[in-house]
A and B are shown apart, each in its own frame.
Chain A
Amino acid sequence: MSEDRNPTEGLTRSEVLRRGMIAAGALAIPSTLLAACGGGDSSSAGGGDAASKVVALPKEVNGRLDFGGAEIKTLGDEFAGPIWEWYGDDLAKEANIKIAKPSKFAFGQESQVITPKLIGSTEPPWNIIAHGGWFLGDFVATGGLEPLEPYLKGFPGYQEYLAGIAPAYRELVMKSKGQIYALMADGDSHGFHYRTSIYENKTLQRAHRQQLGRDLKAPETWDQYIETAGFLTKQLKSEKMYGAQFASEPAVSWAYWMGTAGSLGVQYFDADMKAQVNSDAGVKGLELLLRLAEHCPPGMENMSNNDTVSNWTSGRVAQAVYWMDLTEFDSKVSQNDSSDTAVPGSIGPDGKLKRATALAFNRVFSIPKNQPEEVKRAAAWAAYRVSHPDYSFYSVTDPFNGLEPYHTAHTTPEAIEQFTKPNPKRGTAPDYPKNQGIYRTRARAENHVAAIKEALKTGFPQPNWPGAGEYIRVLGTEVQNAIAGQKNAKQAMDSVAQQWDEIVQKRGKDQQKEFYDSFQASAKSIGL
């Protein structure tokens, strides 16, 4: 695997493609036939039976695919990292695609920036958009996204690619109502992070055992986490260090509630599409966060995602539930004093521990529908390649782009090794001044990958049906209202439920139910 990925071997790429072509022969042949029948090398992916169609690849010229120098304009949020800058040259070499300078938008502003450009018949200014996975339903509802299965079926190795993607992401992030509209860019899941030096401190260990009657180690339950957070905040007061933290800004606060309420068994809706977020589990989930907030750094009511990262990298916080890349930020400031493990859970009525790892945000690549066929085809190829382990293997192991593993190829022994090595597909620049592995030791990389694997077993998926952006904004806002002391947990979650019910009504109960039922069926089918 690693040999094939050597960027210095330009011809290897072509060989890989050819091998993939053969492997996907059963589908490649119909696609070629289709292209021949059409008298050209492309066919429309639109229409109601899009999934049954296949868009053929262009012909090879001098042993490489030739998309005719198509210029692809990309859009992504400010934290998505410079992957297009890194891989633009490789894409040009392997398929004659030119990647334009990427456009960026502020984190969490998908609906304002992207939605207006997807409505109507005008051509959007971007050919590939990278966005939070929860917006997929919203964007699909505009009718402005291209179904991607017809393209994938024409791409070599697509079956292996799809089979390798973690089921939670494949079924609940890439698809809307059973159809693929997006390709994974970033497998975002929460994890529990802690300072190794704090956990290994003998004095703290002893005091923790004396006061709380158990060892100082990663907590099993949220209650234990809150207790240990309180203990550490008190013990480390003189060092101005805190036992816990999370962000309260609405753009992310909802994800923390997913973790606490999910472990208590909350459901988004019942069978009649009545919001269930204000059930006992939903309210208790928020109460856990409110209790945790008491042991967090000052300014919790306005704590932003950026604040939590800088708190962590500056060593102000000893423990945190956050996305898996939190400890990666450490490597940029050369700390490497952190470890990852599974998030805390709750003890259910059956006496068993139930964890719910928030699978939240999850950047994906989508292709806007209103653009010329040949551009869509080139864009789909570029998105596929960058999402494919051939490239993403290096993206998810690089500390300078915040992208996380989502494919089995990202958690192999080779991948663990790569977490300790420089990214051979890029140099350095002011935005990414170093090129080094995320971790210094293989053991640390193993710990990180093991935590990711564990997280995916207990994933709690984010809403992904039309209106998800609105549901999530309401939830995030009310979570922050509660943290700011404007409402108690019950009032906040009642308000969320009331607003969710209104959203269901105004968006059409039948449509919402259809999408939600599909979401639930997908979740059930993969054991979540």
Chain B
Amino acid sequence: MSTVEPTLRRPFASRVLSGRSLVPRLLVLPAILIVAATTLYPAVWSLWISLHSWFPSQGTGQVWVGLENYKDVLGSDRFWHSMKNLLLYVVVGVGVEMVLGITLALALYEFVKRAWLRVLLLTLFLMPMMLAPAVVGDIWRFMFQRAGVLNYFFDLLGLPEQDWTGAKLGIWSVIVSDIWQWTALPLLVVFAGRAAIPNSLFEAARLDGASWWYRTTRITLPLLRDLIIVALLLRMMDSYKIIDSVFVITNRGGPGTSNELPGLMAYTTAFVDFDIGKAATITWLLGTIALVFMRLFWIAFRRRA
């Protein structure tokens, strides 16, 4: 009597999923779909919209205009003035934040030896970063206003009152508030990075007679380079899209458009004028310029490294 072993067929889904090359792809597929739906599709859609004239507030549809919006925006003084403000904001604001943040982080690590004091100071430095930018804007607006505390001290010192949010000083006031809030980011990153560097490296250097300055410039900073770049890129990415604090401090980029940044210009164009095509154009131009700028920066940094 012969016996026949029953052949068990695995379910179809199991067979498909057991394929080595397919499984990883299927596992990441949901994430890819979500990203495509929430990021890629809106981005491509906004690129498409930027080639159209579209005023939803008039109840009209989208009208193809090709590169007309790009021509308009690139030919507008207002856009280039806002880009000039942005450049100032990024170079000075982020630059000072990086220098201050790195300095404070290293000083905190090197010179504050008591753990409780370190934690306390670190917490104090981080507190502004935990506030909403609009709240920070409000706090500084009160200080910058004509009857504010800054002019009060100027008055005490016998100095003339300043229009801190006026056409000449407005962008600088925004930069000051940004430095106050965001210096903590590079500080945190660099502090964490410094804490991760083995002390043995510094001990060896010390035994070889390396000074503190030499150790910092030849060991600490080179080892922290990648983290510093990450912090810098994060701040730059944050900076180019800033709207809230400049909106609050300068009363929507004013006086006039003197302190306007491109992000705010895009907001006004989209949600005040409801010129959605032009607003999409501004965001694409801004995004492209920021990407090119950051890519060039990255290439230059890698080459130097």
Chain A: residues with CB nearer than 8 A to chain B?
Answer: 111-112, 115, 119, 138, 141-143, 248-250, 298-299, 301-302, 304, 466, 469-470, 473, 477-487, 495, 502, 506-507
Within the complex, which residue of B167, B257, B275 is in contact with A506, where a contact is CB–CB below 8 Å? Answer: B275
Which residue among B163, B255, B258, B271 has the maximum number of chain A CB atoms within 10 Å of its CB? B255
Contact status of A119 and B56, CB under 8 A, knowing A298-B161, A484-B167: yes
B46 at interface, CB cutoff 8 A = no
In the complex, how many angstroms separate the beta carbon of A469 from the nearest chain B beta carbon? 8
Q: A-side binding surface: helix, strand, loop or mixed?
A: helix
Chain B residue contacts of A111, Cβ below 8 A: 57, 271-274
Q: Which 7 A-B pairs have the closest CB atoms?
A: A481-B256, A484-B255, A484-B167, A480-B256, A301-B255, A299-B146, A480-B255
Q: Is the CB of A302 within 8 A of B251?
A: yes
In the complex, how many angstroms separate the beta carbon of A513 from the nearest chain B beta carbon? 15
Chain A residue contacts of B254, Cβ below 8 A: 249-250, 302, 477, 480, 484
Known: A142-B59, A302-B163. 12 other contacts (CB 8 A): A112-B271, A143-B59, A249-B251, A299-B163, A301-B167, A304-B251, A466-B58, A481-B258, A484-B254, A484-B255, A484-B256, A485-B167
B72 at interface, CB cutoff 8 A = yes
Chain A residue contacts of B53, Cβ below 8 A: 506
B165 at interface, CB cutoff 8 A = yes
Q: Which residue of A lies closest to B256 (CB)?
A: A481
B202 at interface, CB cutoff 8 A = no
Q: Is the CB of A470 within 8 A of B273?
A: yes
CA of A250 to CA of B258, assembled, Å:
12
In the complex, how many angstroms separate the beta carbon of B97 from the nearest chain A beta carbon? 26
CA of A469 to CA of B55, assembled, Å:
13
B241-259, CB < 8 A from A: 251-252, 254-258
Interface band, chain B? 20 to 34
Chain B residue contacts of A502, Cβ below 8 A: 72
B166 at interface, CB cutoff 8 A = yes
Q: Which residue of A lies closest to B273 (CB)?
A: A470
B137-174, CB < 8 A from A: 146, 161, 163, 165-167
Within the complex, which residue of B58, B165, B167, B256 is in contact with A478, where a contact is CB–CB below 8 Å? Answer: B256
Q: Is the CB of A115 within 8 A of B57?
A: yes
Contact status of A301 and B166, CB under 8 A, knowing A484-B256, A484-B258: yes
Name 28 interchain pairs, CB-CB below 8 A, sorted by A: A111-B271, A111-B272, A112-B271, A112-B272, A119-B56, A119-B57, A141-B57, A141-B58, A142-B59, A249-B251, A298-B146, A299-B163, A301-B166, A301-B167, A302-B163, A302-B255, A469-B272, A470-B273, A477-B257, A481-B257, A481-B258, A486-B167, A486-B255, A486-B258, A502-B72, A506-B53, A506-B275, A507-B58
Contact status of A119 and B59, CB under 8 A, knowing A298-B146, A302-B165, A484-B166: yes
Q: Which residue of A lies closest to B69 (CB)?
A: A506
Chain A residue contacts of B72, Cβ below 8 A: 502
CA of A483 to CA of B256, assembled, Å:
9
Q: B-side binding surface: helix, strand, loop or mixed?
A: loop
In the complex, how many angstroms separate the beta carbon of B78 from the nearest chain A beta carbon? 9
Chain B residue contacts of A507, Cβ below 8 A: 55, 58
Chain A residue contacts of B146, Cβ below 8 A: 298-299, 302
Q: Which residue of B lies closest to A119 (CB)?
A: B56
In the complex, how many angstroms separate the beta carbon of A471 from the nearest chain B beta carbon? 10
Q: Which residue of A lies closest to B165 (CB)?
A: A302
Q: Is the CB of B258 within 8 A of A473?
A: no
In the complex, how many angstroms separate the beta carbon of A46 from the nearest chain B beta carbon? 15
CA of A249 to CA of B59, assembled, Å:
30
Q: Is the CB of A141 within 8 A of B251?
A: no
CA of A509 to CA of B165, assembled, Å:
38
Chain B residue contacts of A469, Cβ below 8 A: 272-273
Q: Which residue of A lies closest to B259 (CB)?
A: A484
CA of A111 to CA of B165, assembled, Å:
25
CA of A486 to CA of B253, assembled, Å:
13
In the complex, how many angstroms separate the beta carbon of B54 from the nearest chain A beta carbon? 10
Which residue among A111, A301, A485 has the maximum number of chain B CB atoms within 10 Å of its CB? A301
Which residue among B58, B252, B274 has the maximum number of chain A CB atoms within 10 Å of its CB? B58
CA of A478 to CA of B146, assembled, Å:
22
Q: Which residue of B lies closest to A477 (CB)?
A: B256
In the complex, how many angstroms separate the beta carbon of B59 from the nearest chain A beta carbon? 5
Which residue among A112, A115, A141, A477 has the maximum number of chain B CB atoms within 10 Å of its CB? A477
In the complex, how many angstroms separate the beta carbon of B221 from the nearest chain A beta carbon? 42
Chain A residue contacts of B251, Cβ below 8 A: 249, 302, 304
Contact status of A115 and B274, CB under 8 A, knowing A301-B166, A502-B72, A506-B55: yes
In the complex, how many angstroms separate the beta carbon of B66 from the nearest chain A beta carbon? 14
Chain A residue contacts of B273, Cβ below 8 A: 111, 469-470, 473
Q: Is the CB of A481 within 8 A of B57?
A: no
CA of A143 to CA of B60, assembled, Å:
10
